[in-house]
């Protein structure tokens, strides 16, 4: 049995603009989802899956199952469009282990679910961006709900 990929978020729920810290590893090609465990700041967690939508542009689909927050709020299952995050020094959280992960992440790509640009700026977020890359992990930015 494969251990789920760990994704951590500094909030009790996901929303456009939320950032996820990702452990090394992940899906290797479009159409191949991997099991993930999303850990929320309040100590709650949810089973989920992460799938590459466009390897060259760093777009992923995160499907999060229903869960209950630590405060007891029932959170329904939701899908999210996410993109690789880039820090203020221009370092992308490059998924070198993913097919196409070393491609130019600043290039074109379509605008999926209002996603806008391809790789997003992260800024100095401590555990995100460059620090996550230096630890061997990577970061995702939630762009929009998936339809």
Identify the residue with better confidence: 85 or 111: 85
pTM over the 0.85 mark = no
Beta strands in 41-126 (DSSP E): 45-54, 59-64, 67-68, 74-75, 78-86, 120-121
Burial class from Cβ neighbours inside 10 Å (0-12, 13-18, 19+) for residue 27 reads buried
pLDDT at 50: 96
Domain of 12 in residue numbering reads as: 5-145
Q: How many domains does the chain have?
A: 1
Asked whether the predicted pLDDT for residue 123 surpasses 70, the reply is: no
């Amino acid at each position: 049995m494969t251990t789920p990929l760990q994704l951590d978020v500094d909030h009790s729920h996901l929303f456009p603009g939320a950032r996820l810290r990702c452990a090394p590893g992940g899906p290797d090609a479009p159409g191949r989802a991997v099991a993930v465990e999303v850990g929320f700041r309040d100590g709650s967690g949810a089973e989920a899956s992460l799938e590459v939508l466009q390897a060259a542009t760093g777009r992923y689909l995160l499907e999060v199952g229903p869960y209950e927050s630590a405060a007891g709020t029932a959170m329904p299952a939701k899908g999210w469009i996410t993109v690789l995050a880039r820090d203020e020094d221009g370092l992308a959280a490059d998924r070198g282990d993913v097919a196409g992960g070393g491609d130019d992440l600043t290039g074109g790509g379509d605008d999926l679910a209002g996603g806008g640009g391809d790789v997003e700026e992260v800024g100095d977020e401590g555990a995100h961006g460059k620090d996550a890359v230096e630890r061997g992990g990577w970061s995702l930015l939630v762009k929009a709900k998936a339809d």
